[in-house]
Structures are given as structure tokens and as C-alpha cells.
Amino acid sequence: MATEEEKRLFVLLKKAYIDARYNRNYKIEKAELEYLGSRVTLLRDLTERICRERIAQFTEG
């Protein structure tokens, strides 16, 4: 279960996805950016691992 802080940071990530591209005045705290970066890296790594496992299921046997 996600904590309130994790929920807040996920909302921040969704907002940043759009605002950082279109709003020159978009700001994010360094600590928030570092935390979100680490979580995105984790998500990428998990996605890659799961996809590789799934692909391996198709190529086995």
C-alpha cells in the first residue's frame, strides 16, 4: 500500500510529465527529483525483467 508521501510524489511525477515540457517556470525540489528518478529507474528495471521473463516463456520449448 502506498503512503501519502508516495501518492503525493506520484501526482508530482504525473504533473511534471506535462508541466516540465510546456511551462518554462516549472520547478521541482532537488530531493523530489532525485527520489522520482530512483523510482523511475526501479520501474524501468522491473519492466525490463518482467518483459524478458515473458518473452522467454514464448521462446522456450
Mean pLDDT of the chain: 89
The full set of domain ranges for the chain reads 4-59
pTM score, whole prediction: 0.67
Largest CA distance in the chain: 55
SS3 of 57, please?
helix
Sequence letter at residue 44:
R
pLDDT at 46 over 90: yes
- Candidates 34, 36, 29, 30; CA nearest to 7 is 36
For residues 39 and 19, the answer to whether their CB atoms sit within 8 Å is no
24 pLDDT tier (thresholds 50, 70, 90):
confident
For residues 19 and 27, the answer to whether their CB atoms sit within 8 Å is no
